[in-house]
Amino acid sequence: MWSGMIWCKGRPRSGTSSRLGAGAVAPQSETACRHGMTDMKTLFGLAAALLLAAALPASAETISFQGKAYCPIRYDINWPFSAKSKKAPTQGSGITANVYEMPKEAVEEKSAADLGSDMRRLRIISAPVQIGQHVVEDQVLITYELPLENLMAEKQLVSRAELNGLEHAMSVVQFQLATIQNRQRELENMAGNQAVAVNEVANNARDIENLLLQRDFLEEKLELARQRYDNSVLLSQSKFGKEVDLKNLPRRGYVRAPGDGYILWLNSSLVPGMAFSKQAPLVTIGKLDPIIVRASVHEIAMQKLKAGDPATVIFNAWPGEKFQTTISKVDYVAQPAMLQQPSFYLIELTLPNPDLRIKEGMRCDVVVDLH
């Protein structure tokens, strides 16, 4: 609060006021008082404006950008499943981000033989899945005919012939080693009584050393053989099932789901009797709940955003419905761009999707209110 009094600068003396009459004010004094009143009104107005500005809340800034829905985890299963070429697709290759700056270039289809696959063709027996179907990990997606040469190779991998041979060789060496060690003790006792030559004791000791080296070599080789066999069994069980009889492998191969999710895409040629001889995508599996919204945000707007900021998402498919969420990730590394172009950063938002309405690829508008 402001308080004070206004004093007129040119106030007349008592003698002057008596000459002008009672109640009269000198003209100069009246002008000075009027100016003083005007200055005080201005000060009061400025003070009131400052108080009003301090009481009002600061205006919130809004940042808007466009985004698109993606699966947080996605599996792309391609044919051929395994190949010697480093660039060839493999079964269950992992999680694909599916964020592309530019459209994919056309790639010439190559045959499985050109890609170094151990299978020359893939003949489909059945594919009992549909788009939108929920699958669990290790569920059979595709059943195919296993070529005879591949079946023989699988049987050789899970055969215990090499492992049994090494175990037999190890038992023979251990028996020989025990026999010669007993003989060495006898020779040492006889040498103490001078009943045997010293050279015979030394020769027997060298035989023991050779057998120890042979035993160590066989132990290492046996351990590697056991690891290869165990890995081959795991691979065969992943192809034929955990309950498969390794001595009677079926002439059928199975493509199994690498994880839980939904069938997002299915090759329309996956029908019984179809044979694939060139590289081709077969099945795409992804998780839809929750769904991820990704967006490329300009560098100026990005530096104002942080993880945890509330956001409103409006999909083009439902323009009248708003989805409330928060920013879950802000990248610190810009997406690839030319040197003279501005930088854009990837922003992610996580949305619950229990009814699976939101599909991968749906476009949306994102509005972030900064307080």
- For residues 257 and 135, the answer to whether their CB atoms sit within 8 Å is yes
- Measured between alpha carbons, how far is residue 76 from residues 81, 263, 296 in Å? 11, 10, 24
CATH fold of 62-68+288-370 reads: Elongation Factor Tu (Ef-tu); domain 3 (2.40.30)
pLDDT in tens, the chain (371 residues): 344 444 444 444 444 444 444 444 445 555 555 555 556 666 666 666 555 555 545 556 889 999 999 999 999 999 887 544 444 333 433 333 343 333 444 445 666 556 556 677 889 999 999 999 999 998 999 999 988 888 888 888 888 999 999 999 999 999 999 999 999 888 888 888 878 888 888 999 999 999 999 999 999 999 999 999 999 998 888 777 788 888 888 888 888 899 999 999 999 999 999 998 888 899 999 999 999 999 999 999 999 999 999 999 999 999 989 999 999 999 999 988 888 888 999 999 999 999 999 999 999 999 998 87
- Helix, strand and coil percent figures for the chain, each rounded to 5: 35, 25, 40
Contacts of 358 (CB under 8 A, 6+ apart): 69, 288, 291, 315, 351
Rounded CA gap, 345 and 350, in Å?
Answer: 17
Rounded CA gap, 294 and 101, in Å?
Answer: 13
Find the distance separating the first CA and the last CA of the chain, reported in whole Å: 31
Considering the four listed CATH numbers 2.70.150.10, 3.40.50.300, 2.60.120.370, 2.40.50.100, the one that applies to the domain covering 73-146+251-286 is 2.40.50.100
Joined together, the tokens standing for residue 179 give 């026999």
pTM of the model: 0.61
Which residue reads 């005919």 in tokens? 145
Rounded CA gap, 177 and 276, in Å?
Answer: 57
Going through 24-162 in order, the beta strands assigned E by DSSP cover 61-70, 74-79, 122-126, 134-135, 140-145
